[in-house]
Amino acid sequence: MAIQAFKTTPAPQAQPVEMTGARMVVECLKRLGVTTIFGYPGGAILPVYDALYESGIEHILVRHEQAAIHAAEGYARATGKVGTVMATSGPGATNLVTGITDAFMDSTPVVIITGQVPTSMIGRDAFQEADVIGITMPVTKHNYQVRDAKELPRILAEAYHIAGTGRPGPVLVDIPKDVSNQVAPFVFPESVQIRGYNPTTEPSPIQIERVCQAISKARRPLLYIGGGIISANASEELRTFARQARIPVVSTLMGLGAFPPDDPLFVGMLGMHGTYAANMAVYHCDLLIACGVRFDDRVTGKLERFSPHSQKVHIDIDPAEIGKNVRVDYPIVADVKNALQALLEKSPHANCDDWIYDVQAWCREYPLSYKNDSSVLKPQYVIDLVDRMTNSEAIVTTEVGQHQMWAAHFYRAKEPRTFITSGGLGTMGYGFPAAMGAQLARPDATVICIAGDASFQMNIQELQTISERNIPVKVFVINNRFLGMVRQWQEMFHDNRLSESKIGAPDFVRVAEAFNVKGIRAETPEQAERAIAEALAHPGPVVVDFIVEEGENVFPMVPPGKGNDEMIVKGWDE
């Protein structure tokens, strides 16, 4: 610094280097710290792929673009970094739409780079043209079409900034082929400033004070936490705050892992398949402190019966979430980490030992349970085994359906970013590629995809990707030969008319072997234990096909349209 102060003549401004738009993309990605990209090449994105060749950035060639974006989501959620996806125009881009929507619903930071037909051909229904900007407008946080190569560095820097800050989400950058080939001076912006984008991250001190007063007056306070705690890296603050203020905690599906399940203050997951204790606690509490949640309908059940006796605090970085579904008494727009820190500084204390006693009594009285059986393999038992045999220290991703709920019930994730599941969109086909992304992000971790037989079939082609790259993901298929959750609803709400829910599955062991992946089958409890041990010990990828009891259903359950206090605790027939 002192040396610079003596400089009398400024150093001559270096002439910006000229390069193609495609080179700029790669140059920007490097400067933005991107080390891994998931993608699939094609005509309109070819110049960028050419620039990627020998760039040193790792590119994972998937077998379907949908898997690329789910893998990027898994990568992002396992690390907190922004995931990166690349695909070509038209079909390449439209194949991403499900994953983009999934990332949008679960606030996952992802940047999607798509090729586009040359600007001169846009709007003429050219070969492999699709209006990707129009298609993705409702499911991205923001999207850009680049019209001039010199805009690329600014746009890419903005895209990563928008994706990863505030409420995270997917941002798409569409690059016409002629822009990729256009030569222009490369000027990378030193900082990003977007006039219409200034997320509020600091909480209002007045509101914090009011919440502290409400906590000290509350007799039955409850923390209701969600995925926002994980994306804000606020798990530590949450743990300290809950313990210091002595407030029990219920979690959404997306929040699992943010609070340790063995803590006496943890009440479990709430909502449609939440625990009895969690739903009763929500129903009876007098102060509900919602942190990084969005009052999703799968959580609230019938709104009029959702926590009817409580005052509500809502902490969220997205002001539009506050008051969207539920009336809030104490709105706090802030990064939930900052808000929890501000609350911790005031060290409010709830006077509610009776309440904690009541909540713990519910936990003891109605624990999550299932009838085990030594002759047939129960799906819950498989998850229980996985939990015990990994000491809950693996990264678990799930597909969507009954197995997802059993995983939420019986895999007791202790740390944030270790339970990765498609919450908002409920995307079948998510878990397996997400596991692939998580494993690439965390090479030393044991990564397990808990899959259903039907969901696994939705992106089963990625067996080739994990096989070729030796990505040691363990796929545990909970195989009940049914679209289990569909069948459960048909049994319960459609007079057991099983319309199209019986779905065939291939021999997963032989499928795995065809892709040169280790395949194991387990049909009994003993075989299951051995299979898990063998899979965990195997250094490469594995598929284990657990043939489980066909008719098993997920309980507890709040029937659709009912209040959370009207839950069915045991089986329908019992």
Residue numbers at the binding site for other proteins (CB under 8 A) = 133-134, 137-138, 141-142, 145, 162, 194-197, 318-320, 323-324
Of 193 and 391, the one with the shorter C-beta distance to other proteins is: 193
Q: What is the DSSP letter of 13?
A: P
- Separation of alpha carbons 410 and 406, rounded Å: 6
- Separation of alpha carbons 186 and 151, rounded Å: 9
DSSP, collapsed to helix, strand or coil, labels residue 211 as helix
Of 323 and 506, the one with the shorter C-beta distance to other proteins is: 323
Inter-CA distances, 2 with 5, 6, 7, 8, 516, Å? 5, 7, 9, 13, 62
Q: Could you tell me the smallest distance in angstroms from the CB atom of residue 222 to other proteins?
A: 25
Q: What is the DSSP string of 234-302?
A: -HHHHHHHHHHHT--EEE-GGGTTSS-TTSTTEEEE-STT--HHHHHHHHH-SEEEEES----HHHHBS
Of 126 and 133, the one with the shorter C-beta distance to other proteins is: 133
- The angle formed by the CA atoms of residues 212, 214 and 218, to the nearest 5 degrees, is 120
Q: Could you tell me the smallest distance in angstroms from the CB atom of residue 547 to other proteins?
A: 43
Q: Could you tell me the smallest distance in angstroms from the CB atom of residue 325 to other proteins?
A: 10
Q: Could you tell me the smallest distance in angstroms from the CB atom of residue 535 to other proteins?
A: 44
Of 330 and 432, the one with the shorter C-beta distance to other proteins is: 330
Q: How many CB atoms lie within 10 A of CB 382?
A: 28
- Take residue 99 and report the two structure tokens written for it: 């994953």
Q: Could you tell me the smallest distance in angstroms from the CB atom of residue 516 to other proteins?
A: 45
Of 324 and 349, the one with the shorter C-beta distance to other proteins is: 324
Q: Could you tell me the smallest distance in angstroms from the CB atom of residue 169 to other proteins?
A: 10
Q: Which residues of 409-445 are buried (b: 16+ CB within 10 A; e: fewer)?
A: bbbbbbebbbbbbbbbbbbbbbbbbbbbbbbbbbeeb
DSSP, collapsed to helix, strand or coil, labels residue 196 as coil
Q: How many CB atoms lie within 10 A of CB 145?
A: 19
Of 318 and 358, the one with the shorter C-beta distance to other proteins is: 318
Q: What is the 3-state secondary structure (H, E, C) of 423-468?
A: CCCCCCCCHHHHHHHHHHHCCCCCEEEEEEHHHHHHCHHHHHHHHH
Say if residues 324 and 294 touch (Cβ distance below 8 Å): yes
Q: Could you tell me the smallest distance in angstroms from the CB atom of residue 290 to other proteins?
A: 17
Q: How many CB atoms lie within 10 A of CB 15?
A: 7
Q: Could you tell me the smallest distance in angstroms from the CB atom of residue 261 to other proteins?
A: 34
CB neighbour list of residue 453: distance below 8 Å, 6 or more residues apart: 477, 478, 479, 480, 481, 482, 503, 505, 508
Of 325 and 524, the one with the shorter C-beta distance to other proteins is: 325
Say if residues 367 and 285 touch (Cβ distance below 8 Å): no
Of 222 and 317, the one with the shorter C-beta distance to other proteins is: 317
- Separation of alpha carbons 503 and 482, rounded Å: 5
CB neighbour list of residue 373: distance below 8 Å, 6 or more residues apart: 549
Residue 115's DSSP bridge partners are 175
Residues designated as active site: 65, 127-128, 177, 485
Of 188 and 197, the one with the shorter C-beta distance to other proteins is: 197
Q: Could you tell me the smallest distance in angstroms from the CB atom of residue 161 to other proteins?
A: 10
- Separation of alpha carbons 146 and 137, rounded Å: 15
Block residue for tokens 């256009």: 182
